[in-house]
Amino acid sequence: MKTIRAAVMPAPNLPIELRDVPWPDLAPGAAMLRTLYSEVCGTDVHLHHGKLSGVPYPIIPGHVSIGHLAEIRGTVRDIDGAPFREGDLVTFLDVHETCGACRECLVTKQSTRCPHRKVYGITYGLNDGPLGGWADHIWMKPGVKLLRIPEGVDPLSFIAGGCGLVTSVHAAERAELRLGMSVAVLGAGPVGQAAAALAALSGAHPVIMIGAPAPRLDFALTMGATHVLPLEMPHAERVEQVHALTAGRGVDVVIEAAGDPRAVGEALDLVRDGGRVVVAGQYTDGGDTPYNPHRQINRKHVEIRGCWGCDYSHVHRALQVLAHQGAKLPWANAVTATYSLERAAEGLAAVESRAVVKAVVEPNGKQTTVSR
């Protein structure tokens, strides 16, 4: 029997195991992807600690992946109607099965809040089939939205951006980033790095990143941040420095990608009167935190926008940005190591410790960790 080899989280906080999963029957419109890279995301750390509700363990992690189409059943087409061919290098929208038939899909038009939403590597369990990226092949169920990797986009750069890039495309859209805006980014992880990059590519200035640890801030300076401020600096001093860079007013836009609930309050202190704060980092529940609605919202005449999940357009735009603006920034340098399936747990540990910006699983790759 043909099988797929996968790295599996059996349950929260248990060691990751290698398992062989049956190769699924492909219905018409389905395909099989031979995985080139799949990322290790901060979400996978949350998954491993059981921080997300409703996850059907055991599960194959890996929601953003890239690879070649190994097998296509029937005809699968791109958004312009062109059929995919075996061998094509593609990625896919991990958010599968938004229903197109509910109030969120049809009336409020925010499919990221569709209650029927399924996500590869997060809401599909091992029992649903090989539907996560930490595996040598990934089952593209009929209807999964595939995207061609445009010419000139290096696969490692794509996965280096990964989920953080796609998320920050959405955050940048919510922020209405424009040429000449001043921007602060809170958080130096993959979302923050990509947000700083997108701000820079949009012509923002200054692009101030606040985060930790120091190597991530150094990386940010290569990715478009014009200034970095460490978390060790006292809050009041950070506020003062941001004001000094912005005629004493604060920045036009803050993109919060930190995760710590207190970061939203910091964002409100850094933004100028009438500015905009996009809250993209509060993906898991970090608890309650105090704020002052008079001083931080009302008197500031400020705007705050939550940013949840992604849809097809964000992946599409991420690829366009990489294709056309990608060469300006060293995306691939975010990946300091790639991991075989056997060593996926090491990648997870590296992400959890913030030792790296991004770890990547290379399921069909060499069996050794490649240091870059």
Map the footprint of its own copies across residues 343-362, applying CB under 8 A. none
Residue 310 within binding range of its own copies, rule CB under 8 A? no
* Beta carbon nearer to its own copies, 26 or 304: 304
* Beta carbon nearer to its own copies, 30 or 321: 321
Please tell me the distance from the alpha carbon of residue 148 to that of residue 371, in angstroms, as a whole number: 28
Strand partners, 147: 91
Among 57, 71, 110, 155, contact with its own copies (rule: CB under 8 A): 110
In the complex, minimum distance from the CB of residue 74 to its own copies, in angstroms, rounded to a whole number:
14
Among 17, 20, 49, 108, contact with its own copies (rule: CB under 8 A): 108
Ranges within 195-214 binding its own copies (CB under 8 A): 198, 201-203, 205-206
Q: Are strands 370-371 and 335-339 parallel, antiparallel or unpaired?
A: antiparallel
Counted residue by residue, the chain has a size of: 372
Contact call for residues 168 and 194 (beta carbons, < 8 A): yes
Residue 54 within binding range of its own copies, rule CB under 8 A? no
Indicate the SS3 state at residue 90: strand
Indicate the SS3 state at residue 339: strand
In the complex, minimum distance from the CB of residue 255 to its own copies, in angstroms, rounded to a whole number:
12
Among 3, 214, 324, 367, contact with its own copies (rule: CB under 8 A): 324
Ranges within 111-140 binding its own copies (CB under 8 A): 112-113
Q: Are strands 303-306 and 335-339 parallel, antiparallel or unpaired?
A: unpaired
Query: In which element (H, E) is residue 148 found?
Result: strand 146-148
CA angle 120, 305, 260 (to 5 degrees): 70
Per-residue contact track with its own copies, 224 to 253, x per CB under 8 A? -----------------------xxx----
Between the alpha carbon of residue 207 and those of residues 52, 138, 182, 228, 235, the distances in Å are: 32, 38, 6, 8, 18
* Beta carbon nearer to its own copies, 319 or 341: 319
* Beta carbon nearer to its own copies, 5 or 305: 305
Q: Please give the DSSP secondary-structure letter assigned to residue 25.
A: P
Among 295, 327, 367, 368, contact with its own copies (rule: CB under 8 A): 295
Indicate the SS3 state at residue 67: strand
Among 64, 66, 172, 335, contact with its own copies (rule: CB under 8 A): 172
Question: How many chain residues bind its own copies (CB under 8 A)?
Answer: 77
Between the alpha carbon of residue 26 and those of residues 72, 130, 263, 313, 329, the distances in Å are: 8, 12, 45, 26, 39
Q: Please give the DSSP secondary-structure letter assigned to residue 64.
A: S
Options 4-12, 130-138, 281-289, 336-344: segment touching its own copies (CB under 8 A): 281-289
Residue 297 within binding range of its own copies, rule CB under 8 A? yes
82: tokens are: 């062109």
Among 48, 117, 141, 145, contact with its own copies (rule: CB under 8 A): 145
Residue 88 within binding range of its own copies, rule CB under 8 A? no
Residue 142 within binding range of its own copies, rule CB under 8 A? no
Among 179, 232, 244, 371, contact with its own copies (rule: CB under 8 A): 179
Residue 372 within binding range of its own copies, rule CB under 8 A? no
Ranges within 13-52 binding its own copies (CB under 8 A): none
Please tell me the distance from the alpha carbon of residue 34 to that of residue 68, in angstroms, as a whole number: 5
In the complex, minimum distance from the CB of residue 21 to its own copies, in angstroms, rounded to a whole number:
27
All residues at 6 or more sequence positions from 109 whose CB lies less than 8 Å from its CB, including other chains: none
Please tell me the distance from the alpha carbon of residue 49 to that of residue 372, in angstroms, as a whole number: 28
117: tokens are: 């939403």
In the complex, minimum distance from the CB of residue 277 to its own copies, in angstroms, rounded to a whole number:
9
Options 16-24, 53-61, 117-125, 266-274: segment touching its own copies (CB under 8 A): 266-274
Rg (CA), the chain: 20
Residue 368 amino acid letter: T
Among 81, 236, 244, 371, contact with its own copies (rule: CB under 8 A): 81
In the complex, minimum distance from the CB of residue 319 to its own copies, in angstroms, rounded to a whole number:
10
* Beta carbon nearer to its own copies, 196 or 341: 196
In whole angstroms, what separates CA 59 from the centre of its chain?
19
